[in-house]
Structure formats: structure tokens, C-alpha cells
Amino acid sequence: MTEIDKVALIYIQDRRILTARSKGKDKYYIPGGKREAGEDDTATLIREIKEELDVDIIPSSIRFCGIFKAQADSHPEGKIVRMTCYSALFEGELSPMSEIEELSFMSSTDAKKCSAVDEIIFRHLLDEGLID
């Protein structure tokens, strides 16, 4: 079994979580991405969120939220995505950048529009009382 190692931002506003949809894709996902060689979680989170959302993460605000695993979408059975999630504050205005076509704040009822690992994260946030 192999894993895809990703880091993601849990950003909740009005009891809804920020999601993004890439150009040409149907599913939404929690913003973030794969680390580059030599990057730790913090560096990956800051870089990926700047690239995707054009905002600057405030490093002192970063808080660990959990690690979640599920079958990776569009990959052979057994290919797992491991998503290490953090919450954080940021400076700037959210704007879809790079491969991102659309940003959306979603509730737990929207989870089926997302990847398998994100569905698990939605359930966790709902169970914790953080989203509707």
C-alpha cells in the first residue's frame, strides 16, 4: 500500500468549511497539496495556500487538526491519501489561483461533492460541532 502525503488547511467560516475545485474537475477538495523535497508541514501549508488561494498564512496561528486517510480518488485501489490538516489565520483576500477554478464554503450536507478523505474530514468536523 502506498500513500500520497498531503497537507491541507481547515478554514471554517459561518460553520462551513472552505473547499476548492480545480479546473476541469467535478470534485471539491480542502485546499492544500503535496510537499516538495525538504519541506516540513508548515512550509508546505504556507506555499500551497499561497499558490492556490493567494493569501499569506500567519505562521504563529497554525494549529494541528488531525491526520486523515482514505482511498485516493482517480488512483488504483490501495493508493491511499494521507491528509495532515491544520487550521490557520491568513492575511489577504481569498482568490482562486493557479489550477483552482472555484472556491466554495460547504456544510456537511455537501460532503458527497468532495474526495473520500475530505468526506471523512467533514464527518469529523461535524462530530466536533464545528460545521453544520
Q: Which residue has the cell 468536523?
A: 125
Looking at residue 108, what is its pLDDT? 96
How is domain 1-126 classified at the CATH fold level? Nucleoside Triphosphate Pyrophosphohydrolase (3.90.79)
Residue 77: the pLDDT is: 84
pLDDT value of position 43 = 97
Sheet containing strand 79-87, strands side by side: 32-34, 2-10, 79-87, 63-71
Write out the DSSP string of 6-44: EEEEE-EETTEEEEEEETT-S-EE-SEEEPPTT--HHHH
pLDDT at 103: 97
- pLDDT in single tens digits along all 132 residues of the chain: 689 999 999 999 999 999 999 999 999 999 999 999 999 999 999 999 999 999 999 999 999 999 999 998 877 788 899 999 999 999 999 999 988 999 999 999 999 999 999 999 999 999 999 999
pLDDT of residue 1: 64
CA gap 60, 129 in Å, rounded: 24
What would the grid cell of residue 64 be? 494541528
